[in-house]
Amino acid sequence: MKTTYRDQLITYLSQFLLERRILRFDEILQNRTEHLTVVLEDIYQSQNASAVLRTCDCFGIQDVHIIENNYNYKINPDVAMGSDKWIDLHFHDQKAKNTIPALRKLKKQGYRIVATTPHKNDVNLESFDLTKGKVALVFGSEVPGISEDVMQEADEFMKIPMYGFTESFNISVSAAICLHHLVWKLHQSDIDWHLPYDRNRDLRLDWMIKSLKKPELLIQNFEKLNPHLLHK
């Protein structure tokens, strides 16, 4: 494999990090996936929104898509516990209504849009089929739930079985239950859910830079030492 600028930069920056830090990156990257992604539509309660980010990081979900229509998504640092530093947040907030273009973009990327809500054609979480391709799990806001736009664009519907008087879980609880089961199921499967080499490498570099003090100075020095790599 041809050595690239990024490969060489990773090697260079590694000497400024503790070995245990690098080994920790290796461990986490082995369990990171983009086979599952989470979509949060119009979440306005910062505690619940931030708890979902923490859950995604804990279960190895790298990408979270934030759809803003009526509300701005706010991160509560005391709840997120720095998880937003290690995962990628994709904001869909360019228009008055962002749900449909966001979901259609995910479809073009090969994701099945799965609405987490009861429906006449729904399937229980335990019976959900992961082998049919990548999955974008859509969670709606606390009171109104998933919008009609999501219902319209959804390829499938999934529900969590419940046996009490209340009709729904808190969104952060719903995300945790769904991801725990689906990630466990993914790890038991023959699906190739690991990150491809380029994505793995780019995340490693990003995390290294975030872990260093004044990384821009180190990068400038690297480029002075290796000008021949700048266009590779």
> Domain-by-domain residue ranges, the chain?
5-27+196-229, 34-188
* CA atoms of 226 and 231, how far apart (whole Å): 11
Q: CB neighbours (10 Å) of residue 118?
A: 14
**pLDDT in the model for residue 226:** 87
For residue 35, how far is the Cα from the chain centroid? 10
The pLDDT of residue 117 is above 90: no
DSSP symbols for 88-145: EEEEE-SSS--HHHHHHHHHHTTEEEEEES--TT-EEGGG---TTSEEEEEE-BTTTB
Task: Identify residue 216 by its one-letter amino acid code.
Answer: E
| Tens-place pLDDT, residues 163-209 | 998 877 889 999 999 999 999 999 999 999 999 999 999 999 999 99
CATH says 34-188 is which class? alpha beta
136 to 6, 105, 193: CA distances (angstroms): 29, 11, 14
When pLDDT is cut at 50, 70 and 90, the band that residue 134 belongs to is very high
The pLDDT of residue 222 is above 90: yes
